[in-house]
Structure 1
């Protein structure tokens, strides 16, 4: 049995949009959906007398949140298998553990109670930076998410550091029957000159051709495995995070890789992933790649 998609729910508008997106994603891939709400209300349960019929307000809130989310899921897709669970721990710890047994984690861009002017919530950032499975942060308002551009955007990194993000992007494009835009950025260091033997024809041409070769190498295997996916390849000059954020306005999903260094517990996103999660205009999938 394939692993489920796990969705973090907390009653916020952002989480509701993530749930709606996850329901469509589960239907596309034929996967079950697991709704998770992390709460610490159990630690306060002992405050009430054991004979009291009352339940702590946080427990009631948790039950209402998962109940409402399950009802929302049923109304949108009654045929989808959906399970729910309330976990007695902080959200980051709970979601990271759930991610070990998930096809992907799907989160809203901001949680309940976080400041309105935040570009990205703390839970989403921490989970995307440390999870061992793909994490999809659903960015964009409801109107933007309702539009279909029929395009998955892939930021292509160094294939020597892993191609898991490439495989993920091909699968998403295949499931949607849409175009895959694969982008590799390049830059020409200011100090280089055409006098270098490798730079015949100009340093810009050398770096562009190298980017094109790396792009082909990264896509080669997945192209053969997914022959029905139409791929548009592009090499662009400039910082990769700016190129991807700019193109995200015309994409349904942006896919980027993130290195996972063994034994390193801190945030492991890199500049591209960090910028995408904060500024992209569409949902962002961060796919872990072993470092």
Structure 2
């Protein structure tokens, strides 16, 4: 069986959108879908129910949540092979475990209990920071039009981000916009450098083109545009996300086997206006 697409749900409207995105993605990639709901392993005591009674009630509610999500998928994507799991673990632990060996993990921006003022739920942010498979956070309104935007830093390993972005664009018949944003360091600015003094644009454009060349050969049908901008990376990526189908960014280098989400990744997943895929480095 091919690697599944795993989606977490708690029955909220945000997670319903994540289930829809994951199901459409599973249909597009011809992969099975696994719908996961986590139930706290040690539910807190309440005046009305014993811990065992509350655990049983939560398990029943969780099963109803995934059953409803599965029916939703069957109605709209009947060809997608769909399985469900209700797991007695803390949410982040359950998702990490369920995503092991998966193709990707899909989550909503936030779930039940999230305050409207919060930009991103803690579970989604934690998964984007810790998962060893790509994590897609479904933000904004998913669209069937627009580009796939990939944010890269040519000074670092970008193969995984570009491969994910080109494949996603190929499947969707979309164009890829590869963006490298850069700024003069505070040291250079304080020393009196200007943009003209530190004209790195041509060299950076060459490096962006070189990074894309192997993928353009493999996905010859994909139209790709490279863009180098003198702007803060979060702003440079958030702006095109308004009309994009998908925004793809990388996690930073691994430490002790796990990726880390850098400041640009944090900013993008908080402020992007389209689904964001966070792709861990292979190194």
TM-score normalised per structure 1: 0.88
Aligned pairs for 1:256-271 (under 5 A) are 256-263=249-256, 268-271=260-263
Aligned residue for 2:166? 170
The corresponding residue for 1:72 is 72
Q: 1:283 maps to what in 2? A: 275
Is 1:235 aligned to residue 228 of structure 2?
yes
CA contact 1:185–1:211 (8 Å) conserved in 2? no
Which residue is 1:209 aligned to? 202
Give the stretch that moved more between structures: 256-265 or 226-235.
256-265
Taking the aligned partners of 2:76 and 2:248, their CA distance within structure 1 comes to 26
Contact 1:124–1:137, Cα closer than 8 Å, also in 2: yes
1:83 is paired with a residue of what secondary structure?
Answer: strand
Structure 1 unaligned regions, length at least 5: none
Report deviation, 1:290: 4.1
SS at match of 1:185: strand
Residue aligning to 2:245: 252
Residue 35 of structure 1 aligns with which residue?
Answer: 35
Distance of 1:12 and 1:214 partners within structure 2? 43
Structure 2 distance, partners of 1:128, 1:96, is 10
In structure 2, C-alpha distance between the alignment counterparts of 1:259 and 1:101, rounded to whole Å: 20
Structure 2: any 5+ residue segments left out of the alignment?
none
The aligned residue for residue 112 of structure 2 is: 112
Is the Cα contact below 8 Å between 2:43 and 2:51 reproduced in 1?
no
Tell me the CA shift for residue 274 of structure 1.
0.4
- Give the secondary structure class of the aligned counterpart of 2:106: strand
Aligned length: 277
SS of equivalent to 2:260:
coil
- 2:164 aligned with 1:185: no
Q: Give RMSD over aligned pairs.
A: 2.5
Rounded to whole Å, the distance in 2 between the matches of 1:73 and 1:29 is 15
Deviates most, 147-156 or 103-112:
147-156
